[in-house]
Structure 1
Amino acid sequence: MSKTYAVTLVLFIVLTVAGGSVIGYFSIPGPWYAALEKPSFNPPNWVFGPVWTVLYILIGIAGARVWFKDRHGTLPRLWFLQIALNYAWPLVFFAARRPDLALPVLVAMWLSILAFIAIAWRRDRPSALLFVPYAVWVSFAGLLNGAIWWLNPA
């Protein structure tokens, strides 16, 4: 591994995890979320931090890979689109307290993740595989978001 690639990898991982942490700080669920009716399959709150930390590391690795291979290509653009949507979702859901508006953000994020996987599958299979757990978790998050919206009409 070259020094340039190592620096790129570390930067992508650190910035992805740090970005998620900052967004998490500004969108702490708090009493509003605690008071919502939740579906029976809602995991305990302590699960979300470790899951997102692992996912952000995988997302960062994939980002570095596609950036290093072709920084002006489709995959880096999709990577930045999905991370922007990823960071927007908790702000809409928790900070703005709008599960109804958060659901379309999550669907757009999910579609950008699936597009990333589909394109990366041919161009950089390891990056595609790094995004599979992310796609699964965001699918589950979509079910949670939809169920919370359904159970708590405005």
Structure 2
Amino acid sequence: MNQSYTRTVNPTVKLIVSLILTLLVGFGAGFATATSINSWYSTLDKPFFNPPNWLFAPVWTILYILMGVAFYFVWKLPETTQRNIALFVFVLQLAVNGIWSLIFFNQHQIGWALVDISILWVMIIITMYLFTQLSKIAAWLLYPYLLWVSFATVLNFSIWQLN
């Protein structure tokens, strides 16, 4: 007998998976950063507006949590092509986010990191646009992320210029 059924995932499980997904990327980025923060990074010339090193971890942790909740708000919606595309773009931008730390802190490629973060900025805008079509709350949860990445882009550019 062939029965068709829709497999559903408990909303609580979706929330937990959403948070784990984003926080794992954050953990990976943090690990990549930690290897150079007190060595290579400390030798770079930085602009006057460079925040203290201790600020980055709590800010990024909050941002990854907000991103996870935004992802959850879209994922919990009924499955549609539009929703699936939005989730795919979100995951893609999350990967670009994680790659930045590897390029900047592990490879010490400030210019290529600037290219990556510029692509990330555009992808965040696209993600927010797609999320707005599905969940305005999800899109709004990404605004702090966009603002921080905007600041980080200026900071990356300034460090590239100074070094």
Aligned 8 A contact 2:128 2:139 in 1:
yes
Q: How many angstroms does 1:121 deviate by?
A: 1.9
CA distance in 1, matches of 2:93, 2:50: 24
Matched, 1:24 2:35: no
CA distance in 2, matches of 1:118, 1:3: 26
Q: How many angstroms does 1:64 deviate by?
A: 1.6
CA distance in 2, matches of 1:71, 1:59: 21
Match of 2:11 in 1: 5
Moved more, 70-79 or 102-111: 70-79
CA distance in 1, matches of 2:18, 2:113: 26
Q: Which runs of 5+ in 2 are unaligned?
A: 1-7
Q: Which runs of 5+ in 1 are unaligned?
A: none
Q: How many angstroms does 1:27 deviate by?
A: 3.0
Q: Which has the larger radius of gyration?
A: 2
Letter paired with 1:12: S
Aligned residue for 2:51, secondary structure, equals: coil
Letter paired with 1:14: I
Q: Which runs of 4+ in 1 moved over 3 A?
A: none
Larger % of helix: which?
A: 1
Q: How many angstroms does 1:150 deviate by?
A: 0.3
Match of 2:75 in 1: 67
Q: How many angstroms does 1:3 deviate by?
A: 7.4
Task: Select the residue among 117, 129, 132 that pairs with 1:118.
Answer: 129
Q: How many angstroms does 1:74 deviate by?
A: 2.0
Percent pairwise identity: 38
Question: Structure 2 vs 1, CA of residues 5 and 33 (structure 1 numbering), >3 Å: closer, same or farther?
Answer: same
Moved more, 41-50 or 114-123: 114-123
TM-score when scaled to structure 2? 0.87
